[in-house]
Amino acid sequence: MTGITTFSKGQYQSSSRGVDWLNIGSFDASRPNIIGPYAAGRSLPDAYINPVAFDYPRNSTGQQIHLEGNAGRNTIEQPGINNWDLGLVKNTQVGERFNVQFRWEMFNAWNHTQFGAANLSVTNVNFGKITSTLIGPRRMQFGLRLKF
């Protein structure tokens, strides 16, 4: 019996505005304001982050202003990985010169969905949603090998 098990905590990333709000070029890493609890569902891919918990910085009269928001750097944890790959191998001696090997291998053995990263750009339509997976569904393969 063989196996590879992978457990990994998700990486931490920052939310972004998705536009060059501060007019400083391609290195703009300006972040929005957090106005509510953003870790809403955490288990639902279509609502991983609460999108209404983020807003552009505003002044006392409610107008949007060109300043850095209060969202911290690398505060949102992306989904982690919980994956099992398993295999069974059976060697059978046939006579003195031949050996037959049978293999059965399963990738993502428990068929557990491994979600990709959530979209963290406030201006994107899919903000707060996970639209991809890292590892596909369970896959199995069989093999027969003759050694001589």
Report pLDDT for 29: 60
Q: 71-125 pLDDT, tens per residue?
A: 888 889 999 999 999 999 999 999 999 999 999 999 999 998 889 999 988 888 8
* DSSP for residue 97: T
Q: What is the pTM of this model?
A: 0.73
Q: 19-48 pLDDT, tens per residue?
A: 666 666 655 567 888 888 887 656 678 888
Return all residues near 140 (Cβ < 8 A) that are at least 6 apart. 104, 105, 106, 107
Distance CA 137, CA 134 (A): 10
What's the structural domain count of the chain? 1
Return all residues near 60 (Cβ < 8 A) that are at least 6 apart. none
Q: What is the 3-state secondary structure (H, E, C) of 17-60?
A: CCCCCCCCCCCCCCCCEECCCCCCCCCCHHHCCCHHHEECCECC
Report pLDDT for 139: 95
Q: DSSP 3-state helix, strand, coil percentages of the chain (rounded to 5)? A: 5, 40, 55
Domain that holds residue 25: 2-147
Report pLDDT for 43: 64
54 confidence band (pLDDT: 50, 70, 90): confident
52 confidence band (pLDDT: 50, 70, 90): confident
Give the tokens for residue 136. Answer: 């596909």
Give the tokens for residue 29. Answer: 């890493």
